[in-house]
Structure 1
Amino acid sequence: MTKRKKLCFVIMGFGKKTDLSTGKTLDLDKTYKNIIRPAVEKSGLTCVRADEIQDSGLIDKSMYALLMHADLVVADISTYNPNAIYELGVRHAVRPFSTIIIKEQEGTIPFDINHNRIFHYSHLGDDIGVDEAERCKESLVDMIGSLLKNSTVDSPLYDYIQDIEPPKLTKKEYQRIIGDLSDREDSIFAISERATHCMEDSNFSEAAKLWQKAEDLVPNESYFTQQHALARYKSKVPTEISALTDALQIIEKLDPDNETNDPETLGLTGAIYKRLWQATSDRECLRRAMDYYSKGFQIRRDYYNGENYAICLNIAASIEEDPEEKVFYKIAAKKARYEIIDTLAYLLDEGESTQSVNKWPYATLASCYFGLGDEENGNVFEKIFLSLTSVEWESETYFESKKKLSELLKV
């Protein structure tokens, strides 16, 4: 299942700004392009800077919404930019954690935040040295990974006053604000956010149109192509088979047969062929689904591909007439499920909070245990998965797969 990317909102000055305490002029755009954005994107997040969503230089409603909503905020306070300092204060007021402060190593640090952990980098003025940019990028990637995993309080407000609750931004209000913003054809972030909300509301036809718009604006971004294919095949418009055929043409842009080793692309291609098998009973579609899922599982031990590979093996066993081949498929499915459980053992070994992880590994564990006849553990992980999702189509997809698995195991 293609996962929604987390969002990082970057607050900082734009262009060349002078630090009055040192007299040094810094091209802050180089900090963003050479350090911040590459690090954020390497960490798997969508990166958005304030100037990429603002209609004017003034702080507006979209700014406040993103300061509250973003999974991560990176605040560069170099040159003591007043807007950046203000926006950092807003973020600290509304979110207890997931904020990173960075600053060029020279110059003073405001008294109110000089106790915070600050990531320092060296700027040459007009640019940043290649070695320094690479060092900072890798260090920032490590910091982002640790911060998102551990959810340590980094706001001084919530550190000092521990009995207060952060304000809430309702999904409806956020969607309204982003909906207004997405009317601007050049806002790729808002278009993708609106498409994601359409997916959550099971409005797949509209989502497919928006993902196509995003894909047209940024044709080299595989995530948009994957989402476009996913929304198109789930739309079932005008017919399920035509939607699946269209989705296959979309995902083939990423060349799943030859070049890609991306488990997301392989998994989506496998899903399209599996649904074509379900719609047509064409055994070649089932064979191709197994091939794509198997490749995605073998390359990176990707649990989604592994789970669906196991299900396809059960399907193959259910239609196989040769007794020995039938046994082979069943044993291979059982082996794959044990490997998946071993791959996802970190969920138990690390005692990871279910509030800070992806929901789908729990759905996969539930399916694997049910597939092995372990109802007790299956029910445990099913309960966790359902507690983490409020999206109707996600739970429907899970129960649809569970029902089919139960039928296959009886054969």
Structure 2
Amino acid sequence: MDQPLCLIVMPFGRRKDATGRSVDFDAVYERLVLPAVRAAGLEPVRAEDARSGGVLQGHSYQRIMHCDYLVADLTTANASVYYQVGVRHAVRPNSTVLILAAKSAQIPFDPDRLQGVRYRVSAQGLPEHEARYRALLTERLVASRQGPPDSPLYQAVPDHPVFAGTPPLDLRDNLQHSADLRQRLAQARCQGGEAVREVERQLGDLALCESGVVIDLFLSYRAVNWWNEMIDLSKRMPPDLAATVLVQEQLGLALSRAGRGEEAEHVLRDLIYRRGACSETYGLLGRVLKNRWEKALNGGEKKAAKDLLDRAIDAYLKGFEADWRDAYPGVNAVTLMELKEPPDARRREILPVVFYAVEQRIRSGAADYWDYSTLLELAVLGLDEAKGIDALGRTLAWVRAAWEPKTTARNLRLIREARLRREAEIPPWTERAEAELLKAAERGTARP
């Protein structure tokens, strides 16, 4: 006998809540939600809509209405999740369980009144006291089917008619088909571009495919560096899916990698115009303009290079101003300001703010190689030997792949060469840092 279906609506990967805390939702799913759902005797179904920016299709509504249970994570205060919970509450008096990480920003209603489960996460954004919260979630799921209504609508209007729609006969088959396709794409990414293309041939009409599967295909082409195929796929997607922030940002990246920098800039600027300022989008725009600046500089196009450098700085600076907690556009802005001739005086004002942003992230416990390498780069820019030597040691300890220290060494080289051209101070410790990074790149792993 088939187990009851439980739809799980929550983000994928790492996402920030409204307080700026980073939560690893894949870890929350694997270590807390998934085992709790299975312990309740239910078959878990993770909603894929979050991958596509919350684009809901016909099958999305079918699952919201017809799955026997639904678990929704409200931690990020995502409007699409609220909407899906609203649809569910309108058609089901029972069997909807809300969860969220404790100490998240306030949401527009009281989840405790609806028997919500507040789980705890560590400074690293990983679930804590998992056994306790797994047991609590399992208990809530078991009790939710026969207990009093958990829907505010049915609580307020007891005689509201209960949805009596019949689940589509192919609901389970469609779920299994989508899971099989995602598994094939995962295998194809390990085999190369031709294998990914073969899976696409098997999909048929993209308009009939789940949005999550189409996004998985799109990102699979990115994983194998098939930029032109990404660009082509974006044109054949359903228009509402192609217009999402995720697709437009990745399309900008693909266009840039395919040597179509001007088109990439247009796509990203249009996205900012339509959706508003965002540190990630501005960061990508800065990266596109930085690549074009380097190309113009290497080609001897000095006037074009100067204009592109100014525009790259402007994009990175706007990205940092959009979210002061995101140090990526900030460090790129101050580094490019250092490379200008003469250097941009604003870099001295921005430098300590970027330092603070990185240090706060490190204190949160969610740091990785790039946080420590950013501290190193900022120390070189600020000529702070004590911070630089400390950051170098931590950077080398966090190396995961050869390209990481190679990228950082390249940034330090660009700073050194710019200072050489204007005969500015180059402390010996900065050159030693560059040399140590290149050694780490040769090893490809953390310092022994």
TM-score by length of 1: 0.55
Residue of structure 2 aligned with 1:154, choices 130, 154, 157: 130
**Is 2:57 aligned against 1:40?**
no
**Is 2:92 aligned against 1:127?**
yes
8 Å CA contact 1:42–1:141 kept in 2: the answer is no
8 Å CA contact 1:199–1:207 kept in 2: the answer is yes
**Is 2:231 aligned against 1:221?**
no
Instruction: Determine the C-alpha separation between the residues in 2 that align with 1:344 and 1:142.
Output: 29
Aligned residue for 2:276, secondary structure, equals coil
Instruction: Determine the C-alpha separation between the residues in 2 that align with 1:103 and 1:143.
Output: 19
8 Å CA contact 1:267–1:296 kept in 2: the answer is yes
Deviation at 1:215, TM superposition (A): 7.7
Instruction: Determine the C-alpha separation between the residues in 1 that align with 2:309 and 2:115.
Output: 44
Alignment of 1:9-408 (within 5 A): 13-14=4-5, 37=9, 40=11, 44=15, 70-73=26-29, 74-75=33-34, 77=37, 82-84=42-44, 126-127=91-92, 134-136=109-111, 143=119, 149-152=125-128, 154=130, 173=187, 175=189, 179=196, 183-184=202-203, 185=206, 186-210=209-233, 216=239, 218-236=241-259, 243-256=260-273, 260-280=276-296, 281=302, 282=304, 283-301=306-324, 302-316=326-340, 319-320=341-342, 326=343, 329=344, 331-350=345-364, 352=365, 357=367, 359-373=369-383, 374=385, 375-387=388-400, 389=401, 392=403, 397-408=407-418
Deviation at 1:293, TM superposition (A): 1.6
Q: Which amino acid aligns with 2:349?
A: K
Q: Which amino acid aligns with 1:253?
A: D
8 Å CA contact 2:358–2:374 kept in 1: the answer is no
Instruction: Determine the C-alpha separation between the residues in 1 that align with 2:90 and 2:288.
Output: 51
Instruction: Determine the C-alpha separation between the residues in 2 that align with 1:13 and 1:295.
Output: 49
Instruction: Determine the C-alpha separation between the residues in 2 that align with 1:141 and 1:41.
Output: 19
Deviation at 1:247, TM superposition (A): 0.8
Instruction: Determine the C-alpha separation between the residues in 2 that align with 1:381 and 1:215.
Output: 46
8 Å CA contact 2:230–2:254 kept in 1: the answer is yes
What percentage of aligned pairs have identical amino acids? 13
1:152-190 Cα distance to aligned partner (Å, 9 max, x none):
47369xxxxxxxxxxxx9x98483599476542424434
Aligned residue for 1:40, secondary structure, equals coil
1:196-229 Cα distance to aligned partner (Å, 9 max, x none):
4544444444444455656856134202211111
1:306-346 Cα distance to aligned partner (Å, 9 max, x none):
11110221122xx23xxxxx5xx2x5324323221111213
8 Å CA contact 2:231–2:254 kept in 1: the answer is yes
Instruction: Determine the C-alpha separation between the residues in 2 that align with 1:139 and 1:342.
Output: 39
Instruction: Determine the C-alpha separation between the residues in 2 that align with 1:358 and 1:140.
Output: 32
Deviation at 1:348, TM superposition (A): 4.2
8 Å CA contact 2:290–2:312 kept in 1: the answer is yes
Q: Which amino acid aligns with 1:408?
A: A
- The corresponding residue for 1:117 is none
Mark the runs of 5 or more structure 1 residues left unpaired by the alignment.
1-11, 15-27, 46-68, 86-101, 106-122, 157-168, 237-242, 321-325
Structure 1 pair 172–259 and aligned structure 2 pair: CA distance change class (3 A)? closer
Q: Which amino acid aligns with 2:370?
A: W
Q: Which amino acid aligns with 1:298?
A: E
8 Å CA contact 1:215–1:221 kept in 2: the answer is no
Mark the runs of 5 or more structure 2 residues left unpaired by the alignment.
17-24, 46-67, 72-87, 99-107, 133-182, 297-301, 423-448
Instruction: Determine the C-alpha separation between the residues in 2 that align with 1:278 and 1:207.
Output: 24
Aligned residue for 2:91, secondary structure, equals coil
Aligned residue for 1:218, secondary structure, equals helix
Deviation at 1:303, TM superposition (A): 0.7
Q: Which amino acid aligns with 2:419?
A: L
Structure 1 pair 151–144 and aligned structure 2 pair: CA distance change class (3 A)? closer
Aligned residue for 1:149, secondary structure, equals coil
8 Å CA contact 2:252–2:264 kept in 1: the answer is yes
Instruction: Determine the C-alpha separation between the residues in 2 that align with 1:408 and 1:83.
Output: 59
- Please say which of residues 271-280 and 181-190 is displaced more in the overlay: 181-190
Instruction: Determine the C-alpha separation between the residues in 2 that align with 1:367 and 1:226.
Output: 26
Instruction: Determine the C-alpha separation between the residues in 2 that align with 1:307 and 1:72.
Output: 31
